[in-house]
Every structure is written in C-alpha cells, then in structure tokens.
A = this chain, B = another copy of it.
C-alpha cells in the first residue's frame, strides 16, 4: 500500500500538469478500450457473479454486481460525458488589484491523491477514475472483493487509455488485493493520500470515518423531508410527494418523512394515502395523521429517525412552517428537503433557513443528483458541512489556492 501511495503521489504531480486535451484523450481512449473488450469484461464479470452466487450473495447484491450490456454502454457514455465537461483545473477567479499594487486571485487546483473505497458496483471504478482524472487528481480505488475480476478488467482498460495518451498509468490504481486490512492501511496513508471518499452503506462509512487519519468526504443517511405548506398547489404537492417516495425506494434522495400543514392536510392527505396504498407503501403517522387516515398506523419516535430505503413513509401534521423547520432541524440528516408552496415569502424562508445540502421549492427530492444538477457525474453526495455539500462532482475534487502577481512588490 505504501508503494501504491508513493506511485500515486508521483502520478498526481504529473496528472495535475496535464492539459485538458491530453486528459480528454485518455478518457476517450478508456471508452474505446472498454468498447473493444466488452466480451472479455463480460466474461470476467461472470466469474464474479458465479463466485457471488457460490458465496450466497442475495439477488440485490448480484444485481449491483452485474455488468449488463446496457451498463457497459452507460460506462462508455459516462466517460464521454466527463470528457465533454469543462476542465476545472487552473481556472482563475476574482483576480483583482489590491491597494498595495499586487494582483490577488484564486486558482482552482486538484486535491492531489483521492482514495475511493466502494462496494460491489464495478461501474464505480470507471466513474470515479474519470472524475479524478479530469480534475487532475490521481486516485487509488478499492472496490469490493466480490467484484475483483470485473475491476481488474476495467483497470487494464484504464491503464491502456492513460498510457496511449502519454499519461502515467499509476494515476489510476486499483487495489488488487481483496485483503480487508488494505482498507485500514489506505485510510491512514496521510503522507500520500489527501482525501478518502467512501461509497457504500452507512456501516462502511462510519467504520472508515472512525479509522481514517485523512479527511473523509462522508455520505451518511438520507432522511429527506417534503413539507406540504398550507399554500401548496394540491396537484403539485401530490405529484412531488408521490415522486419523492415511490420513484425509487432504495435511494438516498427518496423522501422518508412527509410533513403536512394542518390547514391543508384534509385536502391533500386522503388523496395521497390512497395513491400510496395502491403502490404498496406502508404509512406511519402522528396522532393527527392517524385520525385523518384509516390506512396509517402510529409512528414511533424511532420512525422520525429512520431512513427506510423501503416502501414505508412516516407522516406528520404540523402547525406551520416553523414547526416543519423545527422537525427538520431535529430529525433530518441534512441531505435534501423540499417545500411545496405557492407562497413567495415562505419559499424564501425555507431556502434560507433549512440547513441541508440540497433545499428545494416545488421539486421532488429525487433531483438531488450530480447528473440532474449538471455536474456531469458525482463521486458521492456529501452530508458534511465543510468543503463540499451535496453531490460531489469535479469541483468537489478540487480546491482554491491563492495566486499573487506582482512587479517586484514588497510589503511596507
């Protein structure tokens, strides 16, 4: 791991200097290499699937592991999309003259070396490599042991693409060992690694945060709320509340708790409840909700704290926006919250006062996503407050240094 680290640091210095054309060439080369070797890739992936079945992986895990032709196409498309994004490196902003005569500005620069630790989905290998490469960072990728054959095959495509573009192959290194201790070593390699991005379940992320001596960009729970305000348009409220909960259940930007203003609850909740039950969503409500909806059972204190990732929804009737924000302050994981309202002043208040990584007005929480936001892709979604909040794309893999231009200026 030490050697991987040293190589990454060195490759990081080179890749940070690479020009945009060269980085894009590498991305297109990798796409071409994947397209050319898709049969081999599928074969290696089958080895992982067979081993997974033999080891008793459940069907959801096997599904995440599988590289279908469509998913291989998506990997290729993703590489081309990242190539098409503007290069963030070297961008200079706010360059102004100061009274002393010096010119001061900020330049966007790579972070250096990124360590990414993820679970079974092998397409993360390509997505993560593409974002790191484009943002001028070297990376060390540590995928799940169950996807080792797929990851090795993808890694050789990446190495080929980098090499053909004249960039160091060590700019993207895939940890070849399935030894669990490797993760523990990686997250303490502070001399060579600048930031760790874990992608996976909460337990993985908590374990890594506890062990790491390097800064971690964390993505913990997504306990997302939709608040239907008294001045909401009923049609929009129904559409958004349905979409936020039922579009996909197992994702972090799905709504877990619905807050409804008391004044509008009788008009909106029965309509919603019928639709939810039709979709097979279990409803758990506060006392007022239960007296309004025969379909709801009583929610416990635990429910407000729970990211179900399942067809279950907790519902609370609140007096007004103040009680809604208060509830969010206490129970939200600061991922994504939305208000549905036609009231200008309340919309502004919600945007300003709700302290989550994404705050929305009249839109489904499901939009909290790097592609939807135009970041091209995301390396994760940060629920931290420092550095990056929300979907982390190219900018989140860079920071700003100060630059000073003078003409022999000295400080008086």
**Residues in A lying within 8 Å of B, measured CB to CB:** 13, 16-17, 90, 96, 98, 100, 102, 104, 107, 109, 111-112, 194-195, 215, 233, 235-236, 239-240, 242-244, 247, 329, 338, 340, 351-353, 355-364, 366-368, 372-374, 384-391, 399-411
CA of A384 to CA of B111, assembled, Å: 10
CA of A239 to CA of B409, assembled, Å: 8
User: Are B406 and A362 closer than 8 Å at their CB atoms?
Assistant: yes
User: Are B96 and A410 closer than 8 Å at their CB atoms?
Assistant: no
Question: Can you name 17 A-B pairs with beta carbons within 8 Å?
Answer: A100-B367, A102-B372, A104-B374, A107-B359, A111-B386, A195-B386, A236-B407, A239-B408, A243-B410, A358-B403, A359-B403, A360-B405, A362-B406, A363-B408, A367-B409, A386-B399, A389-B401
CA of A292 to CA of B357, assembled, Å: 59
CA of A353 to CA of B17, assembled, Å: 7
Closest CB in chain B relative to A336 CB, distance in Å? 8
Chain B residues, Cβ within 8 Å of A409: 240, 362-364, 367
Q: Which residue in B90, B242, B363 is a CB contact (below 8 Å) of A404?
A: B363
Q: Given A13-B329, A96-B374, A386-B111, do A410 and B247 touch, yes or no (CB 8 Å)?
A: yes
Of A102, A107, A364, A410, most buried by chain B (CB within 10 Å of CB) is A410
Closest CB in chain B relative to A117 CB, distance in Å? 17
User: Are B404 and A400 closer than 8 Å at their CB atoms?
Assistant: no
User: Are A386 and B389 closer than 8 Å at their CB atoms?
Assistant: no
CA of A364 to CA of B402, assembled, Å: 14
User: Are B405 and A362 closer than 8 Å at their CB atoms?
Assistant: yes
Q: Which residue in B112, B195, B247, B402 is a CB contact (below 8 Å) of A357?
A: B402
CA of A374 to CA of B364, assembled, Å: 40
CA of A56 to CA of B311, assembled, Å: 68
Besides the known contacts A107-B351, A363-B405, 19 further A-B residue pairs in the complex with CB atoms under 8 A apart: A16-B355, A17-B353, A90-B352, A100-B367, A100-B372, A102-B372, A104-B367, A111-B386, A195-B385, A243-B411, A247-B410, A355-B401, A357-B402, A361-B405, A367-B406, A367-B409, A385-B399, A387-B399, A391-B402
Interface of A: prevailing SS? mixed
Please provide the 8 A-B residue pairs with the shortest distance between their CB atoms, ordered closest to farther.
A363-B406, A236-B408, A243-B410, A366-B411, A360-B404, A387-B387, A358-B402, A362-B406
Closest to A111 in B: B385
User: Are B401 and A362 closer than 8 Å at their CB atoms?
Assistant: no
User: Are B329 and A403 closer than 8 Å at their CB atoms?
Assistant: no
User: Are B16 and A410 closer than 8 Å at their CB atoms?
Assistant: no
Of A109, A195, A355, A408, most buried by chain B (CB within 10 Å of CB) is A408
Chain B residues, Cβ within 8 Å of A109: 355
Q: Which residue in B233, B240, B359, B404 is a CB contact (below 8 Å) of A402?
A: B359
CA of A374 to CA of B408, assembled, Å: 19
User: Are B408 and A235 closer than 8 Å at their CB atoms?
Assistant: yes
User: Are A240 and B389 closer than 8 Å at their CB atoms?
Assistant: no
Closest to A340 in B: B408
Closest to A195 in B: B386
User: Are A386 and B385 closer than 8 Å at their CB atoms?
Assistant: no
